[in-house]
């Protein structure tokens, strides 16, 4: 079967999005008792609250992962290849969207965020479907779009964590996991030489070190997010260029220029 011009199954996509949006709406309009558990980490007591928002954030992430796999199984060129790399970004995106929806008051802004999240997730699922076939003439554009969405989600997550005042002990593992998964997806889109976890772990580690250093600085949430985004983009860009065989100095030029632009914006908006 010729996959050129193929589109995701509209019925599957509609069912998946309906379930995810219903879960988001449930978190806003259904109230459950709040459970608080305290754990001790290195002598620090950390209270963890579990409520309807906690349940929904896990639920939408699971729905996005399983739903993406279900959606991609209808692609004529999927064959026996794994869908793992394709559901990383939808899973992370569905979870990140739940953060502002859980914390914004019910207002026109909440409905704008709800609609924006729905559009973003729908476009992302369609893009992931199209990216299955790397020989598709649209693949170059789709790859760039998915990369932009990946970095946009990381920026949204960093801004949300800073704006919500989440404690450092929770911020660091969250950002580390997000940086690792996003770097993994970017690497897969650029068709690098197989699975290379150690460089990606190094990228995540350096981003977390910067996040820890900036956590208590008097930065706005936007400035904080831009600074971390610049670091993640720059490190991934250098890694990709070096793996592509470029000399180190040449490999660092464009990523560092973009990173410096983000950092300059962060300084302006601090």
pLDDT tens, residue by residue, 57-110: 889 999 999 999 999 988 887 777 778 888 889 999 999 999 888 888 888 999
CA 65 vs. chain centroid, Å, equals 13
Are 118 and 189 in the same domain?
no
pLDDT value at 191 more than 70: no
pLDDT value at 179 more than 90: yes
Residues 144 and 84 sit within 8 Å (Cβ to Cβ):
no
Cα 211 to Cα 244: distance, rounded to the nearest angstrom: 28
Q: What is the pLDDT of residues 212-253, one digit of tens each?
A: 999 888 889 999 999 999 999 998 888 877 776 677 677 677
pLDDT of residue 35: 72
Range with lowest mean pLDDT among 34-38, 41-45, 92-96, 188-192: 41-45
| Count of domains for the chain | 2
- Between 132 and 227, the more confident residue is 227
Per the domain annotation, does 131 fall within a domain? yes
Are 185 and 261 in the same domain?
yes
Instruction: Write down which residue in 104, 137, 170 finishes a domain.
Output: 137
Are 174 and 233 in the same domain?
yes
Instruction: Write down which residue in 90, 106, 137 finishes a domain.
Output: 137
- The neighbouring-strand residues paired with 36 are 49
Are 22 and 110 in the same domain?
yes
- The neighbouring-strand residues paired with 47 are 38
CA 86 vs. chain centroid, Å, equals 12
pTM of the model: 0.86
Q: What is the pLDDT of residues 134-157, one digit of tens each?
A: 787 888 889 999 999 999 999 999
Helices (H), ranges, 48-138: 52-72, 84-103, 108-130
- The mean pLDDT of the chain is 85
pLDDT of residue 37: 66
Q: Quickly count helices (H) and strands (E) in the chain.
A: 9, 2
């Amino acid at each position: 079967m010729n996959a050129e011009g193929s589109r995701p199954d509209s019925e599957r996509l509609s069912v998946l999005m309906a379930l995810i949006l219903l879960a988001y709406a449930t978190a806003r309009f259904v109230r459950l008792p709040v459970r608080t558990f305290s754990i001790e980490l290195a002598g620090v007591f950390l209270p963890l609250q579990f409520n309807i928002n906690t349940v929904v954030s896990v639920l939408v992430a699971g729905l996005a992962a399983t739903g993406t796999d279900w959606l991609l199984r209808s692609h004529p060129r999927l064959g026996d290849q794994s869908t793992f790399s394709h559901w990383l970004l939808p899973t992370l995106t569905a979870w990140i969207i739940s953060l502002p929806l859980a914390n914004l008051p019910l207002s026109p802004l909440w409905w704008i965020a709800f609609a924006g999240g729905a559009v973003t997730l729908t476009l992302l699922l369609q893009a992931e479907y199209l990216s299955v076939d790397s020989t598709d003439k649209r693949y170059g554009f789709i790859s760039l779009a998915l990369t932009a969405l990946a970095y946009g989600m990381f920026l949204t997550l960093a801004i949300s964590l800073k704006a919500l005042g989440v404690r450092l002990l929770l911020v660091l593992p969250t950002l580390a996991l997000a940086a690792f998964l996003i770097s993994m997806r970017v690497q897969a889109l650029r068709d690098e030489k197989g699975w290379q976890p150690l460089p990606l772990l190094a990228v995540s580690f350096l981003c977390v070190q910067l996040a820890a250093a900036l956590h208590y600085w008097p930065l706005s949430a936007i400035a904080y997010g831009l600074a971390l985004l610049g670091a993640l983009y720059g490190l991934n860009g250098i890694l990709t260029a070096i793996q592509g065989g470029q000399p180190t100095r040449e490999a660092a030029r464009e990523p560092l220029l973009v990173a410096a632009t983000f950092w300059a914006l962060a300084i302006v908006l601090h």
